[in-house]
Structure 1
Amino acid sequence: MSCDSVDGRRRPHPVVVAAVCVVLLLAGALLVRHYVAQPFRVPSASMAPAIQPGDVLLVDRSSRGTAERGEIVVFDGRGYFAPSAADGDRFWVKRVIAVGGERVQCCAPDGAITVDGVPLEEPYLPEGTAPSEIEFDLRVPEGHMFVLGDNRSDSTDSRHLLGAPGGGMIPVDRVVGEADRIVWPLTRRGAL
């Protein structure tokens, strides 16, 4: 015997309703992750003290493929920072120091990194940290970015790859998004 609704139509089975709800929730989650925000866990201290190992960042996917000086971005480093995704180093988080067309140098007489001759103010560097122990003078190609970790003494970044393919410059189209905030652990949650 079947159960009909008041208007004469048959009600869907509760298992079917639950399955449809689960599929819709999963599809919604995938769409949010691809177009809105995506979490990333930070494995190293290269961005300390602002970002600590084990922090989970929420990355704004609406900013993918873009980069501005000073932003903290997550990017796909395959072929530039990591030989392959198999080694677990596909995604990297670094601060954008210079973008296409800008000349970045280290170091000015006071030890500062300069961009187009103007010294960078870097209040995010750990106290006592030199802006760079590696000297460089280069122009960032259009469509690329020069990135550094905040913890310069413990960061593999553009400085270390100047002689490698790509010269340490990352194509901006490799940017997954801007790191917006720390979401885990709860004691560290907040905007970056």
Structure 2
Amino acid sequence: MAIIFVVAVLVSFLIKTFLIRSFFIPSGSMENTLVVDDRIIVNELVPDVVGLERGDVVVFQDPGGWLDSAPEIEQSPVTAAVEWFLSLVGLAAPDSDDHLIKRVIGLPGDTVECCNALGQLSVNGVPLDESAYVKLPVGESRVSQIDFSVTVPEGSMWVMGDNRWNSQDSRYHMDMPGGGSVPIDDVVGRAFVISWPVSRWGWLGNYPEVFDGVPDPADVPADSGATTGGE
């Protein structure tokens, strides 16, 4: 029994380290796709083995200055030990408050702009119909209250929350290093399923139909109207 237990813990540790791990959702920035206290499973093969795609919902480390420092929570030695063990095997996520989750809108070289006359966001000149996942205030049609035009730097991504008028995403950090873009190296993985509560269980899609018409950056004529995300 002891050998079986040790092997099970080792396998769980390896899975959590290299394949999948769990996080919980601490805020409403991704509503209605994800709500507070949802638990998600993240595929850690993205982006090192499986490449990122526009529309992916990704968990990433704070690139610097996006999150306020979380206060230290006093725990008894027993509680701390249990949480450490559960996190070791991927059944708890005590570091969820140190990470963010957003949807990938732009990849390296993409020009992301908002908003056109219909209130839509555009990628490489193609307007997007994001109604399948974006949450807006009642009566509002603009998918961003902030107008912007950026070109995503090499090795980075442009991310936005689905709850567009209540998400401190790339738009709100354009004055920081990187111009609001997030280094792809900071990505922990792609969220692909809501695992808890049972009533919320379901797959997390990346809505490829929304981005189907977006051309590669190399196929888009140079546009002096966009600013590089790193500026």
TM bucket, shorter chain? 0.7 to 0.9
Higher gyration radius (CA): 1
Give the number of aligned pairs: 175
Answering whether residue 125 of structure 2 is matched by residue 117 of structure 1, we say: yes
Offset, 1:187: 0.5
2:183 matched to which residue of 1?
A: 171
Report the Cα distance in structure 1 between the residues aligned to 2:70 and 2:108, rounded to whole angstroms. Answer: 26
Q: Secondary structure at the match of 1:75?
A: strand
Match of 2:167 among 155, 162, 165: 155
Letter aligned with residue 135 of structure 2: P
Report the Cα distance in structure 2 between the residues aligned to 1:78 and 1:138, rounded to whole angstroms. Answer: 18
> Could you tell me whether the CA contact under 8 Å between 2:63 and 2:183 is conserved in 1?
no
Offset, 1:92: 0.7
Offset, 1:175: 1.0
Letter aligned with residue 146 of structure 1: W
Letter aligned with residue 175 of structure 1: V
> Could you tell me whether the CA contact under 8 Å between 1:78 and 1:85 is conserved in 2?
no
Match of 2:19 among 32, 36, 52: 36
Report the Cα distance in structure 2 between the residues aligned to 1:164 and 1:96, rounded to whole angstroms. Answer: 19
CA offsets, 1:87-132, max 9 Å, x none?
Answer: 8642111000101000011111211111111011202112545310
RMSD: 1.9
Aligned-pair identity (%): 39
Offset, 1:170: 0.5
TM-score (norm 1): 0.84
Runs of 5+ consecutive residues of structure 1 not aligned to the other structure = 1-17
1:106 matched to which residue of 2?
A: 114
Q: Secondary structure at the match of 1:166?
A: coil
Runs of 5+ consecutive residues of structure 2 not aligned to the other structure = 73-94, 205-231
What are the residue-to-residue correspondences of 1:14-93 with 2, within 5 Å?
18-65=1-48, 66-79=51-64, 81-82=66-67, 89-93=97-101
CA separation of 1:94 and 1:163: change in aligned 2, threshold 3 A: same
CA offsets, 1:128-169, max 9 Å, x none?
Answer: 453100111110001100000000111110000000122111
